[in-house]
């Protein structure tokens, strides 16, 4: 598993740098998605988002990258809320495996920035760690001051990915979001579940995915919007 921001089901092509004894890999990705859902909640007002990023990975397991997406939080403008149109993430981590056991690990730090905000402060950072075993994964993330200065945040997630017929992928995910203080959700709730069930296929170097993504939140918990409702999300992406 990896915390690097790449599109679901995408397999990155890479550029090899340096001698065979020590090499690095640089990859990129670009995508168009019908709705940018992050932890089950729409970040693009349930509209199309354009996304892309670059990653550097060393053979030691160290990686560094950046990823961006268009966002739309205009629903909060009247309250002096978050009104930026861009999310820009920077992250670094170390990932690897335990021999041939099928177990893998990933430790990372991530910074989420929202250039152009002139209301609340949206920027925040997280530290994260994860373990995987074959097709199963388990991860944990923590932020001391989450999105829009809403205090401590904890996230635990599990996933399952199964490849079949060489070009198809089935993906299952469930995550538990927990807040130490009220403020992130409009009715003062301090936790929620998010989930996704998706299928992806790679055709002529292009990755296509369709997923049902949502949460257990009601509209009154998400500022009167349907951002947390279950939605079908279609994504087309290309790795470079």
> Residue 226: which CATH number?
2.40.160.40
Tell me, yes or no, whether 39 lies in a domain: yes
Answer yes or no: are the C-beta atoms of 19 and 225 closer than 8 Å: no
Tokens of 87: 């999310």
As a whole number of angstroms, the distance between CA 154 and CA 139 comes to 11
Tell me, yes or no, whether 231 lies in a domain: yes
Which residues, including other chains, have CB under 8 Å from residue 50's CB and lie 6 or more apart?
31, 32, 69, 70
As a whole number of angstroms, the distance between CA 161 and CA 200 comes to 10
Tell me, yes or no, whether 8 lies in a domain: no
Which residues, including other chains, have CB under 8 Å from residue 204's CB and lie 6 or more apart?
none
As a whole number of angstroms, the distance between CA 22 and CA 174 comes to 38
Tell me, yes or no, whether 93 lies in a domain: yes
pTM: 0.89
**Chain centroid to CA 71: how far?**
13
**How many structural domains is the chain composed of?**
1
| pLDDT one-digit tens code per residue, 200-229 | 999 999 999 999 999 999 999 998 999 999
Tell me, yes or no, whether 1 lies in a domain: no
As a whole number of angstroms, the distance between CA 171 and CA 162 comes to 7
Tell me, yes or no, whether 88 lies in a domain: yes
Answer yes or no: are the C-beta atoms of 36 and 60 closer than 8 Å: no
**Structural domain containing residue 82:** 15-239
Q: What is the pLDDT of residue 18?
A: 47
Answer yes or no: are the C-beta atoms of 123 and 133 closer than 8 Å: no
From first to last of the 240 residues of the chain, give the pLDDT tens digit.
Answer: 567 665 443 333 334 444 444 688 999 999 999 999 999 999 999 999 999 999 999 999 999 999 999 999 875 544 555 667 899 999 999 999 998 899 999 999 999 999 877 666 789 999 999 999 999 999 999 999 999 888 999 999 999 999 998 899 999 999 999 999 877 898 878 999 999 999 999 999 999 999 999 999 999 999 899 999 999 999 999 998
CA distances for 85 relative to 81, 95, 158, 234, angstroms: 13, 31, 30, 21
Sign of the Cα torsion 85, 152, 224, 236 reads positive
Tell me, yes or no, whether 2 lies in a domain: no
As a whole number of angstroms, the distance between CA 117 and CA 64 comes to 25
Tell me, yes or no, whether 148 lies in a domain: yes
């Amino acid at each position: 598993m990896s915390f690097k921001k790449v599109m679901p089901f995408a397999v990155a092509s890479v550029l090899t740098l340096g001698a065979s004894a020590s090499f690095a890999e640089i990859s990129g990705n670009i995508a168009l998605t019908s709705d940018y859902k992050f932890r089950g909640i729409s970040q693009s007002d349930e509209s199309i988002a354009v996304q892309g990023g670059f990653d550097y990975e060393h053979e030691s397991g160290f990686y560094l990258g950046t990823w961006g997406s268009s966002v739309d939080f205009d629903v909060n403008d009247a309250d002096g809320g978050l009104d930026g149109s861009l999310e820009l993430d920077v992250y670094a981590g170390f990932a690897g495996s335990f021999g041939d056991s099928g177990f893998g690990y990933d430790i990372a730090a991530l910074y989420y920035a929202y250039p152009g905000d002139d209301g609340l402060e949206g920027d925040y950072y997280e530290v994260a760690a994860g373990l995987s075993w074959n097709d199963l994964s388990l991860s944990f993330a923590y932020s001391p001051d989450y999105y829009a200065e809403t205090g401590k945040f904890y996230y635990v997630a599990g996933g399952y990915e199964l490849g079949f017929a060489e070009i198809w992928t089935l993906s299952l995910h469930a995550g538990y979001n927990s807040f130490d203080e009220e403020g992130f959700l409009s009715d003062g709730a301090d936790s929620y579940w998010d989930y996704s069930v998706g299928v992806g296929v790679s055709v002529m170097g292009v990755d296509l995915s369709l997923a049902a993504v949502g949460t257990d939140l009601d509209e009154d918990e998400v500022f009167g919007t349907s951002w947390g409702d279950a939605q079908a999300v279609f994504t087309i992406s290309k790795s470079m």
